[in-house]
Amino acid sequence: MAMEMKGKRVLVTGATNGIGKQAALELAKMGAEVVIVGRDEIKTRKVRDELQTLGGNSNIDLLVADLSSMDEVRRIADEFRAKYSRLDVLLNNAGAVFSQFQLSADGYEMTFALNHLSYYLLTHLLLDTITQTAQQEGEARIINVSSSAHRNATLRLGNLRDESGYSFMNSYGASKLMNVLFTFELARRLADTTVAVNAVHPGLVDTGFGHNTGRLWSPLIKVAQKLFAISPERGAETLVYLAAAAEVSGVSGKYWNEKEQKRSSDNSYDRQLQQQLWEFSAEATGVG
């Protein structure tokens, strides 16, 4: 099915490798004006050039930031708004797993800072642009990359600065639950607009993700990826589908896998949890 994105602007975080890079490429091939976000300037420029060549599309721009830092998120949001007045699709994809406990520049556990707070803050800082685009163009879309790892997770907002009992798998799962909770709460708050908000489980994808988890876990993750993982091309399919497909226009507040709506974990539908996370995030970032 051919999908057309000519003239539409898309912002993709975590776009220098894996499914983010692949989604940016596919959308560029469809004619979208793509802005990629990466942490390393040299690598991000290299990927920008590669996407321009492979996508046959010169309208690829870049922003460089460490999205675990709120100041960095604010800076690239300012840079985007200074340059562009239109944003049709925001694809929040940047994320990582951290084998050791780390604090972000703002004093929060790093998985929470990068995998959730960056989604929350960047989305809020660009929301006026997104909603204005939706008013002018009829719709806009926000896509939050989550994971099935959210299914066994619990939300513990009280220990995001505390190293005791740290488990990188628990922290990662909790951050992916936050992605779904945030998606559902934001979708409800935007229900009277034509901005659609959806969450995605891309599947176990064969990328470099999780290869920094130490001597015990890193080899196991690599073996699992080789045995069971899908390609980045396939992993990006649902992201591209939600960004571009006409048949999902107006569909919001859903959790997706393999281009189908799925039921997420029971606790992801807990309104109290959704609001609790929203209020915590609003206090942490000073927006919302």
pLDDT at 205 over 70: no
Nearest 5°: phi and psi at 156?
-130, 95
166 catalytic per annotation: no
The pTM of this model reads 0.91
Q: Stretch 255-272: mean pLDDT, rounded?
A: 97
Task: Say which residue, 6 or 224, is predicted with more confidence.
Answer: 6
Nearest C-alpha neighbor of 203 from the set 224, 187, 185:
224
Of the chain, the end-to-end C-alpha distance in Å amounts to 38
C-beta separation of 140 from 130 below 8 A: yes
pLDDT of residue 109: 96
pLDDT score of 158: 85
275 touches 281 (CB < 8 A): no
- Cα dihedral 164→278→258→246 (10° resolution): -160
Stretch 74-93: mean pLDDT, rounded?
98
Does the pLDDT of residue 86 top 90, yes or no?
yes
DSSP 272: H
Average pLDDT over residues 123-129: 98
pLDDT value of position 156: 84
Task: Return d(Cα 176, Cα 189) in angstroms, integer.
Answer: 20
3-state SS, 175-224, equals HHHHHHHHHHHHHHHCCCCCEEEEEECCCCECCCCCCCCHHHHHHHHHHH
53-69, pLDDT tens digit by residue?
999 999 999 999 999 99
Q: Is the pLDDT of residue 232 over 90?
A: no
The catalytic residue among 172, 241, 255, 269 is 172
Task: List C-alpha distances in Å: 262 to 85, 110, 181.
Answer: 34, 29, 15
